Amino acid sequence: MARILIVDDAKFMRMLLTDIINKSDHEVAGEAENGRDAVQLYSQIKPDLVTMDITMPDMGGVEAVREIKQEFPDCKIIMCSAMGQQKMVVKAIEAGAKDFIVKPFDETRVIDTINRVIN
């Protein structure tokens, strides 16, 4: 069972991911609305995994990945992207993200990706 931090500026997307995660063997350890909050929350709760939206106000996902990886090099982050954000996904992977899932979320793909990254 993994403790997961969900980061997305859209409350609906956070609720959707929470629902999917709650159906799996994992738990939601916290939620953040932007990258800046995610960086602070990560250091407080030290989750096993982060799902990180790419495009958010205040601090985007790619920058947040860089900051978290700098302090916690072993962190595991999965990027959440909309169609057409391939260039941003590549930047996020280069910054240290382990994988990505595409919106709209497919429940099976989300759980499979989480399980693959955790193990």
Residue pLDDT, tens place only, 34-67: 999 999 999 999 999 999 999 999 999 999 999 9
DSSP-assigned beta bridge partners for residue 79:
52, 100
Three-state DSSP class for residue 20: helix
In this prediction, residues 2-13 reach a mean pLDDT of 97
Residue type, 107: E
Exposure class string for 23-53: b at 16+ Cβ within 10 A, else e: ebebebbbbbbbbbbbbebbeeeebbbbbbb
E strand intervals along the chain: 3-7, 27-32, 49-53, 77-81, 99-102
Question: What pTM did the predictor assign?
Answer: 0.95
- Tally the C-alpha atoms within 13 A of residue 84's C-alpha that lie toward its C-beta: 1
pLDDT in the model for residue 84: 74
> Domain coordinates of the chain in residue numbers?
3-118
CB 50 within 8 A of CB 42: yes
Which CATH number is 3-118's, of 3.40.50.300, 3.30.365.10, 3.40.50.2300, 3.40.47.10?
3.40.50.2300
In this prediction, residues 80-98 reach a mean pLDDT of 89
CA–CA distance, 52 with 63 (Å, rounded to integer): 11
Res. 85 pLDDT band, cuts 50 70 90:
confident
Average pLDDT score over the chain:
95
In this prediction, residues 5-12 reach a mean pLDDT of 97
CB 32 within 8 A of CB 5: yes
pLDDT in the model for residue 103: 92
- The more confidently predicted of residues 58 and 84 is 58
